[in-house]
Structure 1
Amino acid sequence: MTTASLHIALISETFPPEINGVANTLGRLVEGLRGRGHCVQLVRPRQNSDPHGAADQALLLTRGWPLPGYPGLQWGQSSMHKLLRSWQRQRPDVLYIATEGPLGLSALRAARRLQIPVVSGFHTNFQQYTGHYGVGLLTRLLTNYLRWFHNRSQMTLVPSVSQQIELQRRGFERLELLARGVDSQLFHPAKRCDRLRANWGLAEGDIAILHVGRLAAEKNLALLSKSFQALQQAHPQRRLKLILVGDGPQRASLQQQLPEALFCGLQRGEALAAHYASGDLFLFPSLSETFGNVVLEALASGLGVVAFDQAAAAQHIRHGHNGALAGAQDEQGFIQAANGLLNDAEGLRRARLNARRHAAGQGWAAIVELFEQHLRSAMQPTNDMPVMHSRP
């Protein structure tokens, strides 16, 4: 029996070609749903790079404001009337709201008025970020708003068990898991490039210590610097080079702290895959991730990954088998885990082989299928619409 295709509206502040984990995930989900025969309308703010008149039936653009700290991105304005007009003309079967700003809130309210079921996604720990930017007093208010927002939907999708437990503890309801996948053909050890390593100033036997991600306060990059310096002191006889891929507000200060490190800026596609595969050890000190797509990308590229035991790392790394883990907040444990991999050449070789073997089985097809199942589940009449109060 053929399953009927769905008309899905996906609402997000960010989407490819923007470079971040949320955009990457949403791009994969939309591509996968359309590949399965579903009609997906993308609703997002107009970006500076959008050509005039770019909108069509599959794309609804709204106005936006510049997002502080994220050059080039727009924070969507409230667009309830525009959404109502669009969805009254062509009613979606279900909404997926990926971001909780004014655009997401207006979509939530429009859905309530039209009685369209809503699935929300918890993609970013904004309530943790506030403390890193000197506005820690807002953390409780933001947490309360996020709980109110997500509890208005039929279900909220979270990417990891650790995130699910944390949100349940904070009173979030109807949480379901939707993990992340990786393109293991793009991210592959075969993309290792001797020419790129030579450009980095590395010879055979030298160690490239890699970090990929946004260079921002919430990524705990002080530990990255501390870890690299500790590794240099522990291995004075070996040539180690720190390679950072990505950009962000902390880049200038990191370049001052780490004058010998190489800053490669933003990389995409095949170039990004070559940067991953040309590394040896991957350090991921972040404690603020809902998932951390870069962990899976590094594993697929055959790197020895060192991370804290949470989010993607907790799901995909077995300590000593395909990487190394430290307890959350245990900075000394993190440094020791990295040092342990470097001290054991054969153990690092095995970990890299096992990392690739594990990540090769973590494709996007099963994730997209589960996503579709969650959307269909939200449409069932037994899932009563939560009560929508006028204000959080």
Structure 2
Amino acid sequence: MKIALFTDTFAPQVNGVARTLQRLVHHFEHRKVPYQLFVPETIQQTDVYSHHIHSFFSLPFFLYPECRMALPNPFTIRQQIDAFKPDLIHITTPFNIGLSGLHYGKKLNIPMVGSYHTHFDHYLKYYKLTFMSEGLWKFMKWFYSHFNMTFVPSKETKAHLVRRGFTNIDLWTRGVDCFQFSPKHKDTSLYERFNIKKKYVLLFVGRMAPEKDLETLQAVMEQLPERIKNEVHWIYVGDGPLLQEYKENFTQNITFTGYLAGSELASIYALADLFVFPSTTETFGNVVLEALASGTPAIVANAGGVTEIVTHEQTGIICEAKSPTSFISAIERLLSDEILRLQMGYEARKYARSQSWETIFDNLLLQYEKAYSMSHSDMKLVSSHH
């Protein structure tokens, strides 16, 4: 089956969607699935997939600079689709490139599936743009109504869309690479490099932006009881609009690394005693699964897709969203009970090992087949009525 993938975000951009799609493309290669990619141009486009990639001039998107708004060339897209003749189009974003895919899918009668990755409606609250919410939902509902199936990363996301009247929603969860992320990668030289003189390391990984509920984390840092504050070193991994402000406000017992990937990131996950992640806007939360794979228990909010990754009291603690006191008591409890913390780390790793990308992507390929055959049975129905 030949797949055309249309997305407004792809590696080397930095976000969960881009990284998941990059892995999906690796899987296409691994399973010898013929594919073509339609993506925004980025400065350092990787040439690994160059013979499969068609990229278009793009500009940063104001709500989310890591996502790019491309200006696709309809003529080129039409030419490429005619030459490739895909059996199925997979559209992952409702922006310009996604819309181009939708246009040609409809025009050329090619079966289409979509995937929903980001709660943009939640983001609007953090940027004081809630007045745009109804218009956004109308557009999203129209956009996703064209697909045989819409894939979502968590049951929470599915429920969120069903409430809004979306149909044909199927689960496509996320996996983790347990070789890349593992307790084995703990690197003690980091204590010196980051000037860590405290007993415990608490970690946050993610975009340094309002929609990650960093306000909650800031309050946690400020309100921790003195005896715990004096034993803790914080590490923030990530880039974004709030990074500068945080660097100015917090200077004691804290390290801001900026964006990290690969073995550098893996060694920090493995070093941390706890992963603290207050975000309430995640459709999944890849970073939480990476922490668990590294044997690091996670403390998360009871909102969004993260609640399906962490098992409360077993691989971490699920706290009341936006409640600094709830997060503080979870941190206190796990730092004061080493046996419980190690037990949770062990269970976390065990769970992560059951979430392999290979199984998840193979399942997606089966869902592609199903969506394709849905279209063909619809066509037979139509022709038999004529």
- With the length of structure 1 as denominator, give the TM-score of the two structures: 0.91
Q: CA deviation at 1:179?
A: 0.4
What is the distance in 2 between the residues matched to 1:148 and 1:233? 53
2:281–2:303 CA contact under 8 A, matched in 1 = no
Q: CA deviation at 1:112?
A: 0.3
Equivalent residue for 2:307, pick from 314, 317, 320 = 314
Residues 127-150 of structure 1: CA distance to partner in whole angstroms, max 9, x if unpaired?
211221122211221122111111
Equivalent residue for 1:50, pick from 45, 48, 65 = 45
Equivalent residue for 2:290, pick from 288, 292, 297 = 297
Alignment of 1:323-338 (within 5 A): 323-338=316-331
- Counterpart of 2:6? 11
Q: CA deviation at 1:73?
A: 5.4
What is the distance in 2 between the residues matched to 1:28 and 1:382? 29
Is 1:199 the counterpart of 2:193 in the alignment?
yes
Residue type at the aligned position of 2:258: G
- Counterpart of 2:206? 213
Equivalent residue for 2:103, pick from 90, 109, 122 = 109
1:43–1:59 CA contact under 8 A, matched in 2 = yes
Residue type at the aligned position of 1:39: P
Structure having the larger proportion of residues in helix:
2
- Counterpart of 2:382? none
Secondary structure, in 3 states, of the residue corresponding to 1:235?
helix
Residues 224-272 of structure 1: CA distance to partner in whole angstroms, max 9, x if unpaired?
1112233343625x52011000100011112233222210011111111
Secondary structure, in 3 states, of the residue corresponding to 2:202?
strand
Secondary structure, in 3 states, of the residue corresponding to 1:264?
strand
1:154–1:384 CA contact under 8 A, matched in 2 = no
2:203–2:235 CA contact under 8 A, matched in 1 = yes
1:80–1:110 CA contact under 8 A, matched in 2 = no
What is the distance in 2 between the residues matched to 1:55 and 1:176? 28
- How many equivalent residue pairs? 377
Alignment of 1:139-154 (within 5 A): 139-154=133-148
- Counterpart of 1:390? none
Alignment of 1:7-86 (within 5 A): 7-50=2-45, 56-68=50-62, 74-86=68-80
Secondary structure, in 3 states, of the residue corresponding to 2:9?
coil
What is the RMSD computed on CA atoms of the aligned residues?
Answer: 2.1
2:216–2:322 CA contact under 8 A, matched in 1 = no
What is the distance in 1 between the residues matched to 2:227 and 2:367? 49
1:33–1:372 CA contact under 8 A, matched in 2 = no
What is the distance in 2 between the residues matched to 1:154 and 1:173? 9
- Counterpart of 1:181? 175
What is the distance in 2 between the residues matched to 1:81 and 1:336? 58
Alignment of 1:152-167 (within 5 A): 152-167=146-161
Percent of pairs with identical residues: 32
Residues 330-367 of structure 1: CA distance to partner in whole angstroms, max 9, x if unpaired?
44333322222123221111111111111122110111
- With the length of structure 2 as denominator, give the TM-score of the two structures: 0.92
Residue type at the aligned position of 1:89: A
